Amino acid sequence: MNALLGIDIGTSACKSALFTAQGEVLAQADAAYAVEYPRPGWAQQEPEIWWRAACRAAREALAKAPQAQIACVGVDGQSWSAVLLDAQGEVLCPSPIWMDTRAQAVCEGLDEKRFFAVSGNPMKPSYTLPKVLWMKSHWPQAYEKAAVVLQSNGFLVQRLTGAITQDVSQGYGWQCFDMRRGTWDHEAAREVGVRKDLLPPVCECAQMVGHVTAQAAALTGIKQGTPVVAGGLDAACGSLGAGVWQAGQTQEQGGQAGGMSICLEAYAAHPALILSRHVAPGKWLLQGGTVGGGGALKWLRAQVCPELSFAQMGELADGIPAGSEGLVFLPYLAGERSPLWNPSARGVFFGLDYAKTRGHLIRAVMEGVAYSLRHNLEIAAEAGAGASVLRAMGGSANSEVWTQIKADVTGCPIEVPGSDTATTLGAAMLAGVGCGVYASFAQAASVVRVARRHEPRAIPAYEKGYSLYRRLYDQTKDLMEESI
């Protein structure tokens, strides 16, 4: 049986899934790993951990579907990595990940307007370029030995095939990437002191870039010679896997991070948001990316109610009135990205009293994440990118109560695709387009089916709660910075 393999390098685990050409899951597996937080503001991972996890997850998935013959492999990965490899392909240092803000001082010394004009993105420490400049100053030996800087999925493609690539959707990590043309702006790179040779060749996401080597085949179980496409950004692949590939469609992200991605057919940037190329050619994604998505609920579970399943937490939340009876949560557990861009932002519970229960805490976290989604959607509307129906993806989409909260808070209907593997499905769809299983992106997207739909309800408690959410940050942000 012909199959497509999607591999996802996430924040907390590598997921691998085999799909039929009709988008049906044949088998899936995941391999977890940790994030290192060695200093305040730092969040990093060893890229070799990603590779070992990918090998393990691929072998386990293949073992569950021994009859599958893989036609092609697609890889997606978390954003804004900075994997420094030497000329022999060896990793030189850990990679700061998307939550890392150590490069704040670097950003303050750069002309943000100049580079926003090139990339359509603000100069913030979460992005790849400031991290690389930080490495140049603080890890000079690694920087000088580097032959190339790769993104997370680019690193996995290199380990699978030996090819050095930069897919177009992950180019947004670099403020020297011309977002309009989808190419490097070498003059902008020269201005900030980034060597031209560190920037890999740019590829379309569905472009076939290599084949699985004998060494990679022995480690992953994938047949030697299997074609591999360049792949793309996890949020972009998740959007495709949720059926979002045409202008005006919107993905709602419910993984470790939160936010949304609005598909555009023309360049449209906003300094408080994030702009990337979509994995579908000729399209862009205007994104709101927050640190408080499913990770906020995962943190609460680990610290307050580890004996409960997420389903049980949802049941407790469902028993609490909308608005959590005045309890409001700011989900800024690792600073905050868009639209605040404040690495000093911190999480806050406001409105605690003796009457509050674990159910209140759980629902308040769900509502706080929904408020952050609404905030980003409102900013996107200022850029002329309005959202109507949202397509939910990620583990949070499995929670009916949380998805309904998001619909009620944002005022947008939310559709949930039938598979909760949207990100790996999107990577597999890229593989399918690249090797000819699908004749077009339209045919690939036709495999996505909606399992359920949540209609928004007008709930006055959420208007009050959202207003308080916005005011709480405004009135505490100075205190947050003083506490660092």
Whether 153 shows a pLDDT value over 80: the answer reads yes
Within a 10 A sphere around the Cβ of 182, how many other Cβ atoms? 16
Maximum alpha-carbon separation in the chain: 63
Give the dihedral sign, CA 208/241/340/14: negative
Region 345-355: what's the mean pLDDT? 97
Read off the pLDDT of each residue in 209-230 and give the average, rounded to a whole number: 98
pLDDT in tens, 269-316: 999 999 999 999 999 999 999 998 999 999 999 999 999 999 999 999
Q: Phi first, then psi: what are they for 105, rounded to 5°?
A: -65, -30
| Domain boundaries 2-233, CATH class | alpha beta
Number of CB atoms found within 10 A of residue 77's CB:
30
393, 448 Cβ separation under 8 angstroms: no
Q: What is the CATH number of domain 234-417+449-484?
A: 3.30.420.40
The answer to whether the 2-233 and 234-417+449-484 domains have the same CATH topology is: yes
Determine whether 462 is exposed, middle or buried from the number of CB atoms within 10 Å of its CB (0-12, 13-18, 19+): buried
Model confidence at 401: pLDDT above 80: yes
Does the structure show a pLDDT above 80 at 420?
no
pLDDT band at 255 (very low <50, low <70, confident <90, very high): confident
Is it the case that residue 1 has pLDDT exceeding 80?
A: no
Average of per-residue pLDDT across 185-209: 97
* Average confidence (pLDDT) over 235-249: 95
Mean pLDDT of 244-264: 93
**What whole-number percentage of the chain has pLDDT above 90?**
95
Residue 423, pLDDT > 80, answer yes
Find all residues with CB under 8 Å of 88, minimum gap 6, and list them: none
Above 90 in pLDDT, residue 396? yes
What is the predicted pLDDT for the residue at 484?
60
- Answer whether residue 256 shows pLDDT above 90: no
In the chain, where are the structural domains located? 2-233, 234-417+449-484
Over residues 155-182, the mean pLDDT reads: 98
Q: Look at strands 390-393 and 414-417 and give their pairing.
A: parallel
Count CB-CB contacts under 10 A for residue 221.
Answer: 17
The predicted-structure confidence for 55-103, as pLDDT tens digits, reads as follows 999 999 999 999 999 999 999 999 999 999 999 999 999 999 999 999 9
Which H helix or E strand runs over 155?
Answer: helix 152-161
pTM: 0.93
